[in-house]
Amino acid sequence: MLYAAAGGGGVGGLTPILMIALLFGVMYFMMIRPQQKRRREAEQMQSALGSGDEVVTIGGLYGTVTDVDDDTVLLEVAPGVQTRYARPAIARVVNRAERAESTELVSEDAETVKE
């Protein structure tokens, strides 16, 4: 009689396995997948570096790329001062031309609003 009562809940044995699978699914879509996407974008940005790009390192140092090797990037941080960094140390690319264009667009929009 005790065996019949304990064996009647066949679905109850499947619930913990489904909860664990659901937990792994949520972790994949909320943590692992976005991190892989960010890493892929960073690698793509670092592989597209070229001379003349203004960049920011992970330490917050702004500089202009003067030379690019396979693993290193040579930055000019001040006139005549060049430093060598590993390619993964570049956090983002900041091009002065893009900032100037966006500033011009903002000033044109402000003039349009004034008129």
> Region 59-70: what's the mean pLDDT?
92
Burial of 44 (0-12, 13-18, 19+ CB in 10 A): exposed
> Residue 108: its pLDDT value, please?
52
Whether 98 has a pLDDT exceeding 50, the answer reads no
Predicted model pTM? 0.59
6 Cβ neighbours under 8 A, 6+ residues apart: none
pLDDT at 69 over 70: yes
Domain spanning 49-115 has what CATH number?
A: 2.30.30.30
Question: Is the pLDDT score of 94 beyond 80?
Answer: yes
**pLDDT confidence of residue 7:** 52
pLDDT of 82 strictly over 50: yes
- The confidence score (pLDDT) of residue 6 equals 53
Ordered by start, the domain boundaries in the chain are 1-48, 49-115
